[in-house]
């Protein structure tokens, strides 16, 4: 009998250890980045231009480029993603095509980001002749985050009770009017959560933008969506591997800013989701 409980203790200890390793890794990364990166952060670092072969000055063009890409990505991905989810949840029913759509969404989210990069280069940059540009980069990233937006929107639509739909239809509204005026507003928080998480993911991706938009360096800023731009993740990659002897502060600072930007969006997304859950609990 005792042996069995001893065994239990040992294994519980092991399980706890596994969990602690994971937690330590996450906290370790974040603490390291903050402690080492915060020294580099000042106004000139955030709003200044790179100088002396990127070894001094700031990373403003990279931050701005990433913001442009985030905006561009969401402009393309959000409407398509929402309509796709509306189709799956409201129109398609349980047909064979829904099954195929679902399968391809799952597979699309499993396609490696570097393959999206290849595709973006082949299709947007070369075939459609957008060139290496913010437009091509945003479109590539938009495709990559589509599955996130479709799935979360679909979940949100599913959570809207059918009684609302029936009531609206009974009042003589068309199907589209019902969706537009009744269902979508109800599903809004869920949709927003998905988009916020999607934007965050787009902001941190490197592989899809290397061949579609990212410039090694760019004194001056992009003026149109057909210009190239610098981007934070690529800039970090360049600093860490392509520039000889970059100062430690620049490296850690850039990494910290990137992490902050990405985490900022995912935290907002989580907050919205938690509030939504609480509200539902109150209702039920």
Partner 1 sequence: MLRIAKIFLSLLMLTIIFSFVFSGCSSNSQSVQTGNGKPGTDGSSDESSDNGAGKKFDGKTLVLTGSTTLLEVTNNWAEEFYKEFGGRITVNGGGSGEGIASLINGTTDIANSSRNIKDSEIKNAEENGITIREIPVLYDGIAIIASENINIEEVTLEQLAKIYTGEIKRWSELGGPDKEIILFARDTNSGTGEYFLEEIIQRKGTKKDSDYSQMTIRLNSNAEIVNNISDTDNCIGYVGLGFVKPEMNILYIKEDDSSQNVMPSIKSVRERIYPISRELFVYADENNISDIARGYIDFILSEKGQSIGAEAGFVPVK
Partner 2 sequence: MKSKLNNFKNFLITRFIFLNGIISIVVLTVILIFLVYNSIKFFSGYPIFDFLTGTRWSPTSTEKFGLLPLLAGSTLITVGAIIIALPLGVGAAIYIGELAPRAVRETLKPVIEILATIPSVVIGFIGIQLIVPLIKRAFGLPIGLTALAGSIMLAFMSLPTIISISEDAINAVPIKYRHASLALGATKWETTYKVVVPAAKSGIVASIMLGLGRIVGETMTVLMVTGNSPRIVFSWLQPVRTITATIAAEMGETVRGGLHFSSLFAIGLVLFIITFLINFIADRFIGRIRKM
Nearer to partner 1, 122 or 185 (CB): 185
Cα–Cα distance for residue pair 131/123, rounded to 1 Å: 10
Q: How does DSSP assign 134-175, residue by residue?
A: HHHHHHHHHHHHHHHHHHHHHHHHHTS-HHHHHHHHHTT--H
Cβ atoms of 242 and 173 within 8 Å: the answer is no
Q: What are phi and psi of 56, to 5 degrees?
A: -135, 180
Instruction: Write down the least CB distance from residue 163 to partner 2, Å.
Output: 23
Instruction: Write down the least CB distance from residue 245 to partner 1, Å.
Output: 5
Residue 51 engages partner 1 in binding (rule: CB under 8 A):
yes
* Binding partner of 38, given partner 2, partner 1, none, CB within 5-8 angstroms per partner class: none
CA terminus-to-terminus distance, the chain:
45
Total chain residues near partner 1 (CB under 8 A)? 48
Question: Can you read off the two tokens belonging to residue 29?
Answer: 């990364």
Q: Which residues pair with 56 in a beta bridge?
A: 51
Cβ atoms of 45 and 59 within 8 Å: the answer is yes
Nearer to partner 2, 128 or 223 (CB): 128
Site for partner 1 (CB under 8 A): which residue of 13, 93, 110, 220? 220
Cα–Cα distance for residue pair 56/107, rounded to 1 Å: 43
Nearer to partner 1, 109 or 276 (CB): 276
Instruction: Write down the least CB distance from residue 92 to partner 1, Å.
Output: 26
Q: Which residues bind partner 1 (CB under 8 A)?
A: 43-44, 47-54, 57-58, 60, 64, 67-68, 70-71, 74, 131-132, 185-186, 188-189, 192, 196, 215-223, 227-228, 241-245, 268, 272, 275-276, 279
């Amino acid at each position: 009998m005792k042996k069995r409980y001893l065994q239990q203790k040992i294994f519980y200890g092991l399980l706890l250890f596994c969990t602690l390793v994971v937690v330590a890794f996450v906290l370790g990364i974040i603490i390291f980045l903050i402690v080492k990166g915060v020294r580099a952060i000042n106004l000139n670092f955030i709003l200044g231009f790179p100088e002396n072969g990127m070894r001094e000055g700031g990373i403003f063009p990279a931050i701005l480029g990433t913001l442009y890409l985030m905006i561009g990505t969401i402009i393309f991905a959000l409407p398509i993603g929402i309509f796709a989810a509306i189709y799956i949840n409201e129109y398609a029913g349980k047909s064979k095509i829904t099954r195929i759509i679902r399968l391809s969404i799952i597979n699309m989210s499993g396609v490696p980001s570097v393959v999206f990069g290849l595709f973006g280069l082949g299709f947007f940059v070369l075939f459609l002749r957008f060139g290496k540009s913010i437009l091509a980069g945003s479109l590539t990233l938009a495709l990559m985050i589509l599955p996130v937006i479709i799935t979360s929107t679909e979940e949100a639509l599913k959570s809207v009770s059918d009684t609302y739909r029936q009531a609206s239809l009974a009042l003589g509204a068309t199907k589209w009017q019902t969706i537009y005026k009744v269902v979508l507003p109800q599903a809004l928080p869920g949709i927003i959560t998905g988009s916020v998480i999607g934007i965050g993911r787009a902001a941190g991706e490197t592989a899809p933008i290397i061949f579609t938009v990212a410039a090694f360096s760019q004194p001056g800023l992009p003026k149109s969506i057909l210009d190239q731009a610098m981007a934070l993740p690529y800039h970090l990659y360049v600093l860490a591997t392509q520039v000889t002897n970059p100062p430690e502060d620049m490296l850690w600072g850039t990494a910290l800013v990137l992490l902050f930007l990405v985490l900022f969006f995912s935290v907002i997304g989580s907050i919205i989701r938690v509030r939504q859950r609480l509200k539902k609990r109150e209702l039920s």
